[in-house]
Chain A
Amino acid sequence: VPDAALRCRYVLCEVVSEDPRCRQCIEDRAVGLAVRDAIGRVHGDFGLACCSISFTVKYLNAYTGTVLLRCRKDSYRLLCSALPFVRQLESRNQRYPCFLNTLHVGGTIRTCQKFLIEYNRRQLLMLLQSCTNEEERRCVQKSLLSCSLTEEQCLSGNEDDDDDGTDTD
């Protein structure tokens, strides 16, 4: 269990873009660079250096556009206030406009995972309501009934250094 000085915050956000080709830019290096660039613009050298301690992209899912960022507890406000200033993702010389929607800020990966499962369940319910044919309806219903948090599911490998059980302030 890390002591108070090493506690981190995990920011869960989703990448929203009108251009479907933006999905191919959702990779850890591109997203990390875009977020760092935004922090540098909004909070300057000091903010960039503060947030870069223990900053990393912990998890991302290109299909749903979900991104999980980690930063120090002292600088999560700098990070969260800079996220609306991310305007585009760039990867392999391709750039596409997008924006980041902050979904949840948690103290551990586990709380973010629990939130994400509930959030995805609600998104699937909304999709179910907008289904146009029976085939789609059956697929979505099947996915809905199968989502749950089991012990085998792990977002990105080891949680041993991150799980301290505290929640957000």
Chain B
Amino acid sequence: MQEWANQLCENRQFGSKMTDSKYFTTTKKGEIFELKAELNSDKKEKKKEAVKKVIASMTVGKDVSALFPDVVNCMQTDNLELKKLVYLYLMNYAKSQPDMAIMAVNTFVKDCEDLNPLIRALAVRTMGCIRVDKITEYLCEPLRKCLKDEDPYVRKTAAVCVAKLHDINAQLVEDQGFLDTLKDLISDSNPMVVANAVAALSEIAESHPNSNLLDLNPQTINKLLTALNECTEWGQIFILDCLANYSPRDDRESQSICERVTPRLSHANSAVVLSAVKVLMKFMEMLPKDLDYYGTLLKKLAPPLVTLLSAEPELQYVALRNINLIVQRRPEILKHEMKVFFVKYNDPIYVKLEKLDIMIRLASQANIAQVLAELKEYATEVDVDFVRKAVRAIGRCAIKVEQSAERCVSTLLDLIQTKVNYVVQEAIVVIKDIFRKYPNKYESVIATLCEHLESLDEPEARAAMIWIVGEYAERIDNADELLESFLEGFHDESTQVQLQLLTAIVKLFLKKPTETQELVQQVLSLATQDSDNPDLRDRGYIYWRLLSTDPVAAKEVVLAEKPLISEETDLIEPTLLEELICHIGTLASVYHKPPSAFVEGSRGVQHKRLTSSAGSGESVESPDTGSAAVSEAPPAVIPSQGDLLGDLLNLDLTPPTSTGPPPAAAPGMQLGAMDLLGGGLDSLMGDESEPLGGDIGGSPAMGAGFGAPPAAMPASFNAPISGGLDDLFDLGGGGMTMGTYIPPKTVWLPAMKAKGLEISGTFVRRSGVIQMEMTLNNKAMSVMSDFAIQFNRNSFGLAPAGPLQILTPISPNQSIEAALPLSTVGPVMKMEPLNNLQVAVKNNIDVFYFSCQYPISMLFLEDGKMERQVFLATWKDIPNENESQFQIKDCHLNSDAASNKLQGSNIFTIAKRTVEGQDMLYQSMKLTNGIWVLAELRVQAGNPNYTISLKCRAPEVSQCVFQNYETVLKN
């Protein structure tokens, strides 16, 4: 079985071969044969040389697994160097040759008893790296002994080995009581043993979020703090990272821990320093702000953070990403340290960009003159990205520090005079923001800006310029000519520019109606009739209707006063920031993303939070401000399929065997009950629900939102709409869930093709568990047994979570029902169609292959309901190219019934609004691989045809999702 499974993936596993001239001057066929002979040579030296050659081949990716028995034969040796080499080979190939790996067990067990502690440790260390079940069994006894070994070197190695074993077989570790032994090691006399035990326990605890495995209490904390003073730099990091997870009982304990951690800030190892900073930042929350010690601590934090900037550039980068977080959480720490963030000419670009970010965050009235002088200097550098960012930074300073605005504007004008194309464009974009922040103050510069109209070739700059012209149309004599010139190439412009142009011309018309009637007609017809972009069309229609029904109202709406834009930009959302502070020093703090965004499986899914003392009076945002959803929203690091990174997904970085724990057995009996509900409630809900809301309700607010430039959308668009939606379109939480739609079983494998075995089946998702339900029918004359199942790599990594449970042989003419729980952590490869699944089934007769398609709703997660704010932001954020529209014909449900039905398949309705008898449902769903799909479903009363628009960062899934809508709605 195992071998057969290997066959399925074999061609992938060793697909990449490289050559390295030094080790492989020849690649002739006889090489393996020669090595074989040398390995079996009597001479020790020759043997060793041969093993070295084998290792060299292994390094460069050559398959030398054929030499397995010969290499293992060399293991029985007194020569430690040779032994280590053989072990290295074993670790690499044991998994592919499990039966032969057993040959090595005896030597391992013997070595674990060796007199030399170095050899005992080596044996237990290596054994833990061999991921073969049979070997694992033999590992338990030696490991138990080594955990209690008299030599600390062996104990510290054994401690890590428990974590290795847990990774292979968690249950075994628990059953054997290794966890308790590991806990005992926290009290070990040797600091390195303590550190490794802490590291191992922390890792194991991550996969058991609620186990309280580490059981941190004041006594253990005390032990850890003692070990902290004595162990290696790495051990200090393990201990500090573990300490950061502890929640002190009161501020006194908090302070005493802080006092014992602060000396670490002087360690030469930057990671020790950053981990200590993490502990302090976290425990500081507990301290009352009026405490003297609180102030002392704040002062102590600045110097070590500054010192990090004299480390090597890579570490500087990590430090700067973290300082960016720290500055947002506690600006007071570094407020006087602006100068150290000045960019040096020779800094690597990644350091420069990060420093610039922090400079802007620290900019204040006190230091703005210096900052501006620096930024102006940077704007003349070579690197385009850096220059752009510097120009943008000048604009941000203007918005942040009012006193400096004037100087910033004149600096920007100077830069525009350089006529460097991208500098000019960047400057215009930021000047637009300055206009919004300080209306009627700097409009004198418009004339200068207009001179550069021609050179703008980037959409954002064009849009900004058009906004300026529209907004100040009354002061620009030839505004109509300027806008008209843009109109000529209307269809070649990007959506951003088109939308802006539409709004600007409408503004112009409302300000100078007599001369521009023709122009506005032209743009409205371009937007509504000749464009197939729904956003543009909708906006066009809204303006058209507004202008034709009530021009006065139109004026009020379109020329309404705009909300002020905020001073701080790019701030990390507070709950996410809190979580990231708990992850200082780690990858999460480098990416500025929660671990769940880039870590697979159960690890790192726990969200860490800062705990603040009740007395401190500091406001901590309530957890339900929609931030949770932000942190779960698809982060940019997940490559969308189809681009370069997406292709790499197919590279399969995960080895073929799945190690995820099998999901809990599905409650099989619920099926009937759920079905009943599904059928019955359907009509019930349909009768009850009334269309909610009237017309476009919040239109004045909406209009104002539309009038604003797209760059400011998050500020101006969000607020009014969501406000309106809350009152008018709330669904009233119709929380009835319907049963999941389960497609009827279809024949997947006809008996004709499989020597009498007929398989029909379907897929179900119940309480989060995906199951493949099959009927196996024996239409042959002989008994069938020994069933096994295997999937080919597929788009969403579906894989059996356990073996196929068919316990009794199937006699002729008998059929048997089997349910196979599935996991989604298998290897990934894009399939065509996307939901195609290729399956191989084996029995005592032969291996049979078939393919079937699963409804994509199997992959919709139960937590796929997006927060409204996030939905709006995400919808806007996904480029329009990713939107696809479909028609669902002949569907006679009303919108609420449809919504309920879809909810049964984990398609969640977030909001609903009704416009002229047409219901629009906004829905979201989340796939198991973290991809979000957003949908807008339009249902017109009396019209059996629905329109659905789908937006997703991976547009490939749209077709599948649409098909799923169709099947769910029609059944």
Instruction: Tell me, yes or no, whether A binds B.
Output: no
